[in-house]
Amino acid sequence: MGSYRFFEEYNQPVTDDLKEHYKGILERIGEDTSREGILNTPERASKAIQFLTSGNSQDPAEILKSAMFSEDYNDMVIIKDIELYSLCEHHMLPFFGKAHIAYIPNGHIVGLSKIPRVVDVFARRLQVQERLTHDILECINTTLNPLGVAVVIEASHMCMMMRGVQKQNSTTTTSGFRGQFEKIETRNEFLKLIASNLS
């Protein structure tokens, strides 16, 4: 057995309280909470919602600050195709897709894994895509103080696909740009690179 072990830790009183609420919801929609398939669902749902909203208790700026390094590099750094999964705050249904992020360092670079972690922190909150885009953009811009930062998010929303207008093939794209990326030539270079296959 290896030395590494992944585990999730939950606040037991919160888990128990949420479990009772989920049990009540299931009963009110007509489910038999004593049947085998549903018996443990309230506890699983309780743990799932805590995980999916765990970004509320995390500070994304601190994540970036933990891996900032002085470096004389001032060309574009792009991390693209970052998977993201979030919950729409209007219906608490998932939306999911990819984030593409770039920044131009201004004396400091950041460990590459920290950018996707920042995405996860903001995505693991009840969100709307527009605010998610803005939150990621402003966190990177304020913490790293780069010469420029760009964020593009492409996502599909289950609230549109499963209910309401029921448009299964629609996607939503949001974007934000600061600093050098407000210049059309820099922005176009970024958009061209995230659309291309460099392999």
Residues carrying an active site annotation = 88-91, 129, 157, 159
* Per-residue model confidence (pLDDT) at position 13: 93
Q: What is the DSSP letter of 180?
A: G
Name the 3-class secondary structure at 169. Answer: coil
User: Domain 12-52 in CATH: superfamily?
Assistant: GTP cyclohydrolase I, N-terminal domain (1.10.286.10)
> Mean pLDDT, to the nearest integer, of 98-121?
97
- CATH hierarchy code of domain 60-195: 3.30.1130.10
Residues spanned by CATH 3.30.1130.10 within the chain? Answer: 60-195
Range in 54-63, 109-118, 173-182, 190-199 with the lowest mean pLDDT: 190-199
Portions of the chain given CATH number 1.10.286.10: 12-52
- pLDDT at res. 159: 87
Dihedral pair phi/psi, residue 80, rounded to 5°:
-115, 165
Q: Give the pLDDT mean for 160-187.
A: 88
- The mean pLDDT value for 164-180 works out to 85
Query: 16 φ, ψ to 5°?
Result: -65, -40
pLDDT surpassing 80 at residue 1: no
Q: How far from 10 is each of 33, 42, 50, 166, CA to CA, in Å?
A: 23, 14, 8, 35
Say whether pLDDT at 101 is over 80. yes
pLDDT for 2: 62
Angle of helix 114-123 relative to helix 129-144, nearest 10 degrees, comes to 140
User: How many CB atoms neighbour CB 39 within 10 A?
Assistant: 11
Check: CB of residue 118 under 8 Å from CB of residue 92: no
